[in-house]
Structure 1
């Protein structure tokens, strides 16, 4: 049995799915995914997903400006413990 994703991990996954649906023009999927995110994580979750999408856009812009194909680039997000 797989471990359920943390809320942050789930929101990140949903943000990626929302971003991809938007890029491919599937606005019905964008709406559905946003509604699901809201149902599971509330307005705060949707807000966090939108921040992740902004980060994805920034990363893609940097990759493209460096002359790389964003479809051939991967990156890893490493959680950092919150500072006190």
Structure 2
């Protein structure tokens, strides 16, 4: 059974919170191909992101091997020092 997630503007399965995990290439000008349900970071540092419903970027410090449980539409190259970023997508 699928549900419609108003925040993401997409249907998703009740069987899980995400359907795939994809590599993220930080980019100041372009959104992710698909909104991320959350981000996984292998090497900690600063992560500059645009929340799905946000109007301004936010910066968070994350440790190695961490997850950021935030719907994200863009990961900025400027200011991001974290590496090995992966997006959980529907």
Q: Output the TM-score relative to the length of structure 2.
A: 0.19
Larger Rg: 1
Higher helix share: 1
By relative contact order (CA 8 Å, sep 6+), the higher-ranking structure is 2
Higher strand share: 2
